[in-house]
């Protein structure tokens, strides 16, 4: 298996392939595991994007027969392929006029599909993402055990739910043969994948296998070399990588950046979860480091990093970085200024003392803490006063 080479610098795309019907639970469970993979990518300075075509196909795309073309384009842009299959084979049919119109439109860009006109769109994705060139990109492929589908089928039958019955049963004898052939071809390429599970019993088991396979692969092939770094250097690396990943997702909102630049006092940036606060903060931090702002000490801490998340440890780290930055500028801080075991109030007094020393030379210091709402709850009520 090759080392991962991202197709777009700094962005890791993972393509999720499966028939839409009958695999809803796997797709929903996968969304709960994405944050783990995203956190790992952010830690290593990479932005993570999950590609699930449920979100990318519009009614207009369907009307214009662009479904196959869009799916295969997105698959070709992705860095890791994930495939899930149950008993349902998916949209297929040489006599399906709408589907064959999709083939006609897509064969110009992907001529190889002309040999697979009787196959489902999901199988086309399996071929594009893995079987056409096994090992070209990391692939994890999982097939659900038939016992799960049979159980779901019987329940749907007892409930009189014909649609659900179709979602958990193979469409025809011919399709069953194609699905068995697909499993055989995938199994033959096992050593070219990052993981194959041929009979997971439940959706959770399959998704957990997928997540662990991806994380194991990423840790072996993407993780940056940290072994020779000191604890402090490692911490700096964590925060720098996290900020780099977040800044890559920033767009627009230049008015907020302008206000941050122009403020001379303490500022708190708030907003709904997921609105992009960390991206704004990371971008502002990056812009503060431009050469024209040489007289400013910049200290940043991102609570979502792997460092300890208590107020005490955040302030301890901020003080240490500020102390080292001031010493590099020739300040005489005094021995033993940062004391292990000091309480929160002691660290705050030390911080204010250092800031006062900076004022005597008319030097600036910007302290950025992202994610204050995530620190340990028992410490959120600590009364801490900052001077302007």
Q: Where are the domains of the chain?
A: 11-221, 231-379
Q: How far apart are CA 223 and CA 230, in angstroms?
A: 17
| H-state helical runs in the chain | 24-43, 59-63, 67-77, 97-106, 121-126, 146-159, 162-167, 173-187, 203-221, 231-247, 254-262, 277-288, 311-328, 344-360
Number of alpha carbons in the 13 Å side-chain half-sphere of residue 355: 16
| Nearest by Cα to 172 from 86, 87, 68, 85 | 87
pLDDT of residue 387: 47
pLDDT of residue 187: 96
Is 20 exposed, middle or buried (CB count within 10 Å of its CB: 0-12, 13-18, 19+)? middle
pLDDT of residue 372: 79
Cβ atoms of 140 and 213 within 8 Å: the answer is: yes
Cβ atoms of 284 and 257 within 8 Å: the answer is: yes
Residue 383 has which token pair? 């009364």
pLDDT of residue 222: 74
Torsion of CA 186, 190, 195, 201, to 10 degrees: 60
Cβ atoms of 167 and 85 within 8 Å: the answer is: no
Question: CATH topology for 11-221?
Answer: Rossmann fold (3.40.50)
Which positions of the chain have pLDDT values less than 70?
Answer: 1-3, 55-56, 223-229, 289-295, 306-309, 333-342, 376-388
Give, rounded to a whole angstrom, the gap between the first and last alpha carbons of the chain.
55
Cβ atoms of 88 and 19 within 8 Å: the answer is: yes
Cβ atoms of 108 and 165 within 8 Å: the answer is: no
pLDDT of residue 134: 95
Cβ atoms of 3 and 221 within 8 Å: the answer is: yes
Residue 387 has which token pair? 């001077």
User: Exposure pattern of 284-311 as b/e (b: 16+ CB <10 Å)?
Assistant: bbbebeeeeeeeebbbbbbbbbebeebb
Cβ atoms of 194 and 1 within 8 Å: the answer is: yes
Cβ atoms of 101 and 65 within 8 Å: the answer is: yes
Count, in order, helices (H) and strands (E) of the chain: 14, 7
Count other Cβ atoms within 10 Å, centred on residue 259: 11
pLDDT of residue 211: 92
Residue 35 has which token pair? 């944050």
pLDDT of residue 2: 60
Q: How far apart are CA 315 and CA 334, in angstroms?
A: 19
Q: How far apart are CA 73 and CA 156, in angstroms?
A: 35
Give the 3-state secondary structure of residue 144.
Answer: strand
Count, residues in the chain: 388
Angstrom CA distances, 135 to 18, 161, 192, 195, 332, stand at 20, 41, 5, 11, 58
CA 21 vs. chain centroid, Å, equals 25
Give the 3-state secondary structure of residue 82.
Answer: strand
Q: How far apart are CA 374 and CA 388, in angstroms?
A: 24
Count other Cβ atoms within 10 Å, centred on residue 219: 11
């Amino acid at each position: 298996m090759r080392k991962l080479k991202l197709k777009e610098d700094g962005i890791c795309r993972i393509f999720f392939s499966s028939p839409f019907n009958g695999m809803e639970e796997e797709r929903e469970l996968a969304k709960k595991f994405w944050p783990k993979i995203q956190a790992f990518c952010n830690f290593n300075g990479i932005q993570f994007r999950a590609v699930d075509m449920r979100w990318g196909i519009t009614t207009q795309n369907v009307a214009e027969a662009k479904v196959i073309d869009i799916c295969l384009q997105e698959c070709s842009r992705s860095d890791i392929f994930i495939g899930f299959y149950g008993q349902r084979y998916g949209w297929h049919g040489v006599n399906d006029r709408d589907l064959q119109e999709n083939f006609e439109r897509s064969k110009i860009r992907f001529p190889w599909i002309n040999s697979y006109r009787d196959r489902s769109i999901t199988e086309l994705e399996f071929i594009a993402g893995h079987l056409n060139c096994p090992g070209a990109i990391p692939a994890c492929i999982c097939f659900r055990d038939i016992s799960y589908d049979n159980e779901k089928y019987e329940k749907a039958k007892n409930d009189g739910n014909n649609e659900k019955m179709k979602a958990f049963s193979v469409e025809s004898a011919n399709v069953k043969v194609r699905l068995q052939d697909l499993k055989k071809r995938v199994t033959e390429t096992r050593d070219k994948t990052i993981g194959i599970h041929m009979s997971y019993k439940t959706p959770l088991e399959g998704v957990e296998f997928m997540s662990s396979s991806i994380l194991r692969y990423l840790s072996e092939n993407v993780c940056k070399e940290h072994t020779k770094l000191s604890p402090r250097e490692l911490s700096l690396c964590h925060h720098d990588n996290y900020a780099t990943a977040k800044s890559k997702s920033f767009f627009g909102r230049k008015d907020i950046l302008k206000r941050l630049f122009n403020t001379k006092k303490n500022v708190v940036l708030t907003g709904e979860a997921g609105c992009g606060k960390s991206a704004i903060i990371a971008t502002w931090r990056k812009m503060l480091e431009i050469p024209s702002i040489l007289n400013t000490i910049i200290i940043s801490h991102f609570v979502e990093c792997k460092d300890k998340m208590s107020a005490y440890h955040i302030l301890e780290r901020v003080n240490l970085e500020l102390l080292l930055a001031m010493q590099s500028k020739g300040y005489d801080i005094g021995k033993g200024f940062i004391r292990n075991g000091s309480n929160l109030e002691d660290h705050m007094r030390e911080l204010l003392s250092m800031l006062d020393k900076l004022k005597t030379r008319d030097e600036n210091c910007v302290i950025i803490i992202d994610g204050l709402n995530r620190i340990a709850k028992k410490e959120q009520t600590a009364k801490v006063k900052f001077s302007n």
